[in-house]
Chain A
Amino acid sequence: MAVIGAALAFAANGLSPHGLELTIDHYPGDRVASPTKAAATNLTNVAATITNSPLELLAARLRANGLQLAESNQVAQFFHDPRREQDGVIFIDARDEEHYRAGHIPGAYHFDRFHAENYLTNVVPVCLAAQDIVFYCNGGECDDSEHAAIMLRDSLGIPKEKVFVYGGGFTEWTNNGLPYELGQRNSGDLTNVVKSAVSGKVEGLK
Chain B
Amino acid sequence: MKVTPSTGKRRSLDLAALLARWLLGGLFLYLGLSKVLHPAEFVKLVREELAIANPFLSSLIITAVPCLEVLYGLVLLTGIARNAAAVVARWWLAGVFIVMGLHKALPHPQVFLGLVRQYHLVTSPILLNSIGAALPWFEVFCGLLLLAGVAVRGAALNSVVMLVPFTFVVLKEALRLAAVKGIPFCAVRFDCGCGAGKVFICHKLVENTVLLLLSVWLLTGRGRPLCLRFSLFREKRVVSDLPAPVQLSAS
Contact = CB atoms under 8 A, between A and B. Distances in A.
B134 A114 contact: no
B140 interface: yes
B133 A19 contact: yes
B107 interface: yes
Contact of B125 (A6, A26, A96): A26
B97 to A, nearest CB: 11
Contacts of B166: none
A98 interface: yes
A2 B114 contact: no
Given A10-B134, A27-B117, A114-B191, A22 B198 contact: no
- Please tell me the size bucket of the interface on A: 20 to 34
A12 B105 contact: yes
Contacts of A24: 125, 129
Interface string A1-23: 11001101110110010111111
B109 interface: yes
A203 interface: no
Interface string B97-141: 000000001111111011101000001011011101111111011
A175 to B, nearest CB: 15
Provide the main secondary structure of the chain B interface.
Answer: helix
Contacts of B158: 1-2, 5
B227 interface: no
Nearest to B115: A114
A82 B115 CA distance: 38
B177 to A, nearest CB: 11
A16 B125 contact: no
Given A1-B155, A1-B158, A27-B117, A18 B138 contact: no
Contacts of B108: 18, 117
- Please tell me the size bucket of the interface on B: 35 or more
A111 to B, nearest CB: 14
Given A1-B158, A2-B158, A22-B130, A9 B135 contact: yes
Contacts of B110: 20, 26
B189 interface: yes
A141 to B, nearest CB: 10
Nearest to A118: B48
Contacts of A96: 191, 198
Interface string A30-43: 11000000000000
Chain A CB within 10 Å — which of B106, B111, B134 has the most?
Answer: B134
B126 A9 contact: no
A1 B137 CA distance: 14
B141 A5 contact: yes
Contacts of B189: 98
A53 B135 CA distance: 39
B232 interface: yes
A201 interface: no
B29 interface: no
A10 B128 CA distance: 13
11 contacts: A9-B138, A10-B134, A20-B132, A22-B126, A26-B125, A26-B128, A27-B117, A30-B125, A98-B189, A114-B114, A115-B111
Interface of B: 105-111, 113-115, 117, 123, 125-126, 128-130, 132-138, 140-142, 151, 154-155, 158, 161, 189, 191, 198, 232
Interface of A: 1-2, 5-6, 8-10, 12-13, 16, 18-27, 30-31, 96, 98, 113-115, 117
Given A30-B125, A31-B125, 16 more contacts: A1-B154, A1-B158, A2-B158, A5-B138, A10-B133, A12-B137, A13-B109, A16-B105, A16-B106, A18-B105, A20-B113, A20-B133, A22-B130, A96-B198, A114-B114, A114-B115
